[in-house]
Amino acid sequence: MKSKSAEAVFEKKRERRRRLAQLPFERKIEIVVELQKAAAGIREDARRKVWPI
Amino acid sequence: MEKALQVIEEMTRLGIIKSYAIGGGIAATYYIEPVLTYDLDIFFIPAQEGLDELTPIYEFARGRGYAEQAEALIIEGFPVQFIPAYNDLVREAVADAATLTYRGSKANVVKAEYLVAIALQTGRAKDRERVIRLLDGGAVDRTVLAGVLEKHALVDKLKKIGGGTDEK
């Protein structure tokens, strides 16, 4: 069973995801590219290139 | 990405493919928070059923000078993975697609309810995660989903992962 404080944290996470879900699709794609750049900084992979948007 | 979407639309107009819908991570990103992905997954109905449904696509791509990279075609700089609609569920998802707009370009995208159903059917860990995110994101019409899951015998698979109500 979850504690009240844990549930509050999870609820905040859900709220954040819902906010991100409401962003315009164009902005979401920009975030995908930011995620790709971050991942490339951790591990280079020639097959996983950052998109040229 | 809009140029890649325009090329895919053009392929439909030219009859290279009959119809298509974006699936995978980009389709999920349309409905929920952005997810890390590298390919633009395209489910398509072939113009002609046959042994090699990808041949017309690759011939078109070669004619345009698009490179191949592993399972993807690099269309206007974007890795695009063409996946023939491989069963009734995916064919239905393509036939009943929604429309998205990206920088003025329109494209077909698998509806959220079908994304859930396809993810349940595929069943990898990342698919189960996607189901939970889609359900929690509020983009899924539960009545429509129930009908799709019933039709394709996926109700139990959703029950097994808790229906998306108990996630972190």
Q: Does domain B2-110 have CATH number 3.40.50.2020?
A: no
Of A10, A29, A36, the CB nearest to B38: A36
Point out which residues pair with B146 in neighbouring strands: none
Look at residues B146, B96, B90, B94 and name the one whose alpha carbon lies nearest to residue B121.
Answer: B90
- Residue A1 maps to a domain: no
pLDDT in tens, B74-95: 999 999 999 999 999 999 999 9
Q: Which residue in this structure is represented by tokens 């370009």? A: B105
Residue type, B164: G
Mean pLDDT of B36-63: 93
- Residue A10 maps to a domain: no
Map out the domains of chain B as residue ranges: 2-110, 113-164
B70 contact partners, CB below 8 Å, separation of at least 6: A47
Give me the domain span that covers residue A50. 24-53
Domain count, chain A: 1
Chain A residues lying within 8 Å of B26, measured CB to CB: 29, 32
| Residue in A with minimal Cα distance to B38 | A48
pLDDT interval class at B22 (50, 70, 90): very high
Q: So what's the pLDDT on residue B163? A: 65
| Kind plus residue range of the DSSP H or E element containing B74 | strand B72-75
- Residue A42 maps to a domain: yes
| DSSP letter assigned to residue B16 | S
User: From edge to edge, which strands make up the β-sheet containing B78-84?
Assistant: B67-69, B72-75, B78-84, B40-46, B17-23, B105-109, B98-102
The strand pair at B78-84 and B72-75 is best described as antiparallel
Chain A residues lying within 8 Å of B1, measured CB to CB: 29, 51, 53
Of A29, A35, A39, the CB nearest to B1: A29
- pTM of the full structure: 0.91
Distance separating alpha carbons of residues B121 and B95, to the nearest angstrom: 18
Distance separating alpha carbons of residues B71 and B68, to the nearest angstrom: 7
- Residue A18 maps to a domain: no
- Using a CB–CB cutoff of 8 Å, tell me whether A31 touches chain B: yes
- A16-25, B27-36, B138-147, B156-165, range with the lowest pLDDT: B156-165
Distance separating alpha carbons of residues B140 and B165, to the nearest angstrom: 13
Kindly report the nearest CA distance between residue A13 and chain B, in angstroms.
8
